[in-house]
Chain A
């Protein structure tokens, strides 16, 4: 569960076909997952929190494709419906982190001086923790629920984006076209918005998909520990948590399917991110 890291993927294959394949496979997985999430009500017979009175922990097959869980709810339906929450929170949180982090990074990098000092010291404090531990602490203190989870995961990730964008801006700031813009009378905000922002986003575009995968794992991890989304709302982490006692008894169907769904989605983001990174590396060369 590595958060944000910039490891150059040294590609051997230079024609970019491999990168393209990665992007298509990863993107394909995500499109299918998003469709499944949207169409969940059409693909399932039972509602995600509907209780089948005829019994709990029914084995897969027959009335329930993947059986029922300890509360008598349909596992297949819950796995599909959970995709809405898991994908939604992760993507929203990363988007928020990118926006906040980019703004802070632009300000720190371009203005410099005390703004830079203050912002970077705050970033230092955030980065004195392993990211999952930080997410754990923030969400335990802030509480669960949709909005709080988006804020928690965004807050944990924003500092890394701030640092990334700041580093880009500091190189760009010295370029001649910025001087040219300045002498032609462009305002500070204008320079940041029109000239620095578009060019400093290149690394962000590569990191963000990888980060979405990490955000899904974090969200599920928090819910697994009982801090994120709580039962009976359908969410993969809390479903896995509910199935923990069944695993010891050898019943696989309550916790294996949600975990697999999570793994596949995160894999989609990883493939997409890896493909984008490989393409960016090939261009740089």
Chain B
């Protein structure tokens, strides 16, 4: 009950922020230079053609009228029509979310699990060789440009060794995969398409590895720091002094206390990963949300820009909300 009230209050607080995002994107995309109409018309188009196209997309209306139309559509889940493709933005977005979520969710999951294991391992060996290696790895991971790492992995994994498929696409077209969710690996598993499972998994390895390395470093640092804090706490010292077995100390004390901070970290990292996927999708020609949003931005496709910016902001703040709820549920000291 208390948690419900907390979630309700937080959702109410989100409304002004999201409304601010909606207004700001709407205005900025129109005020700043760039014309979405010119890019869809050929070089020989006349002023009359441009005017006709403007009328077709409602861009001839006064700006307050356009805004009210946009808001009215938002309420019913209608994000408008893409100027570039002429298709419904909601439909296009649904197609693009699957591939991106597939990348981000797999990468963040692997990174979180690895970070817990390595971070605790490193903290228990504080200031010894293993710990130093982990810290140096984390420093490198924090400093490496992901898009370049992706290229190096392609150079080694595809061009030199030939172990992985070319960085163009998410599954071999000749595997006859029936799209369901858009996440190819899941679709292949659901339809029981053996060759497609193998192909989708092989295509996933390099981009996921790129994301994992980029995302792992900040997580690892934080897990290590909070594990060290636990190790130095009086509660842990008392438990150790009582002669509790090593396993109990590790599982019952160290791991549990370290995990408390994890939800908020995972949320933060989810945001970093969302940013990185734009680059990683570009490197691996992964036709996902990032590529779609980037094209929208470059061509000033107003409805696409508005929809993608709003969805990202919404997903990001929602993930933080979920993290706070999980944190409160894990840690009885947190008052909500």
Contact = CB atoms under 8 A, between A and B. Distances in A.
A248 B158 contact: yes
Interface in B226-283: 228-229, 232, 268-269, 271-272, 274-276, 278-279, 282-283
A128 interface: yes
A1 B274 CA distance: 11
Given A130-B271, A270-B143, A224 B282 contact: yes
Most buried by B among A128, A217, A225: A128
A180 interface: no
A259 B32 contact: no
Given A7-B221, A256-B155, A1 B272 contact: yes
21 contacts: A2-B217, A3-B272, A7-B221, A10-B225, A124-B20, A128-B21, A131-B271, A132-B278, A137-B309, A141-B34, A221-B146, A225-B278, A226-B298, A237-B145, A244-B283, A250-B155, A256-B155, A259-B151, A267-B139, A269-B143, A270-B143
A127 to B, nearest CB: 9
A140 B298 contact: yes
A225 B17 contact: no
Contact of A263 (B21, B25, B144, B151): B144
A225 B275 CA distance: 13
Given A10-B228, A247-B151, A250-B160, A1 B214 contact: yes
A259 B225 contact: no
Contacts of B274: 130, 133
Interface of A: 1-3, 5, 7-10, 12-13, 121-122, 124-125, 128-133, 136-137, 140-143, 213, 217, 220-221, 224-227, 237, 240, 243-244, 247-250, 252, 255-256, 258-259, 262-263, 266-267, 269-271, 274
Main secondary structure of the interface of A (DSSP, over half): helix
A244 B214 CA distance: 19
B229 A10 contact: yes
Interface string B1-43: 0000000000000001110110011001100111000000000
Interface in B156-170: 158-160, 166-167
B148 A141 contact: no
A263 B297 contact: no
